Structure 1
């Protein structure tokens, strides 16, 4: 069970379950409305851990979030595609995608008592393209959702895409070893094992 956060713009960022600790999603409208309002705001509040890089540097990949929050409004990269997933029991319980998202607020709290600290950010979909936001639930987890399909990953960002084929090779090797053990029990002479090896060639 845990959260993943993917951000795509001029750069691609992915933060895994050991970084993202909490996500709150809300759709807000003015309190004085008497009909369905056009002034709706879809907002994500995300809290996570600040972590150092593998080389011991305190400039963790979460600094990219801070940098995004400081981009001025006239620059194109101020709006990015943000995808948050809450995975539970081998399924994606909830996936929320904001295709034109910007940072409303960003805070970091540093601590000497435990780890490096925490970050808190508020992300919102641009109000005039609210239809571009997407909410999905009860989806099967795929390899692409675990890796985020991203080449450049920071500390704690999950599994690199190139490792997927390696894991498949390991799984195949384990399966082959299990088959060989079964064949040895039912055919101690090794005849079946030899036939299987020739078929695989």
Structure 2
């Protein structure tokens, strides 16, 4: 199984199967609700590794992801178009599209074992745009 994360905004961020180790999707409503709540949040969490560029390669896009996490809420670029693909073999199991995503949490941990470190990112869809989230899957990859 593998993952691809593509984010479009003022700059494009692309993280692939080499970077992403784990991803999750959550449809979140208040736990104290006794009926289907109108307060719905859509959350994507991604964990992965920061890859060291070697032999003149370009650095991975984790630095761009870290920079996006610093964009203030007042700027339009705080919200970006995010697509997460979950791939098994040559089949896209899930294609989750958050057209108005923002960064909730971003964290990097560095170590001296097997590379530079790891990142952890949490994204949410803008609440009043929840109905624009799409989820597809069950089709062959384009590669």
For Structure 1 versus Structure 2, the TM-score category normalised by the shorter chain is over 0.9
Inter-partner Cα distance in structure 1 for 2:31 and 2:114: 40
1:18-57 to structure 2, matched below 5 A, reads 18-55=18-55
Q: Which residue of 2 aligns with 1:179?
A: none
* 8 Å CA contact 2:15, 2:60 repeated in 1: no
How far 1:76 sits from its partner (Å)?
0.4
Q: Please provide the CA RMSD for this pair.
A: 1.7
Larger C-alpha radius of gyration, 1 or 2?
1
Misfit runs of 4+, over 3 Å: 54-60
How far 1:140 sits from its partner (Å)?
1.7
Q: Whose helix fraction is larger, Structure 1's or Structure 2's?
A: 1
* 8 Å CA contact 2:53, 2:59 repeated in 1: yes
* 8 Å CA contact 1:83, 1:96 repeated in 2: yes
Q: Matched residue pairs, number? A: 143
How far 1:38 sits from its partner (Å)?
1.2
TM-score, normalising length: structure 2: 0.93
Q: Which residue of 2 aligns with 1:125?
A: 125
TM-score, normalising length: structure 1: 0.67
How far 1:89 sits from its partner (Å)?
2.3
- 1:12 equivalent in alignment to 2:12: yes
Q: Which residue of 2 aligns with 1:199?
A: none
Q: Which residue of 1 aligns with 2:66?
A: 66
Aligned to 2:37, the other structure's residue is in SS state coil
With over 3 angstroms needed to count, the CA separation of the structure-2 counterparts of 1:56 and 1:119, relative to structure 1, is: farther
- 1:111 equivalent in alignment to 2:136: no
> Which residues of structure 1 form unaligned runs of 5+?
144-201
Per-residue CA deviations over 1:135-184 (Å, capped at 9, x if unaligned) read 112022114xxxxxxxxxxxxxxxxxxxxxxxxxxxxxxxxxxxxxxxxx
Inter-partner Cα distance in structure 2 for 1:26 and 1:82: 15
How far 1:11 sits from its partner (Å)?
1.1
> Which residues of structure 2 form unaligned runs of 5+?
none
- 1:88 equivalent in alignment to 2:91: no
Inter-partner Cα distance in structure 2 for 1:132 and 1:140: 24
How far 1:53 sits from its partner (Å)?
2.3
Per-residue CA deviations over 1:58-116 (Å, capped at 9, x if unaligned) read 96431000000000000000000110111112110111110000000000000102211
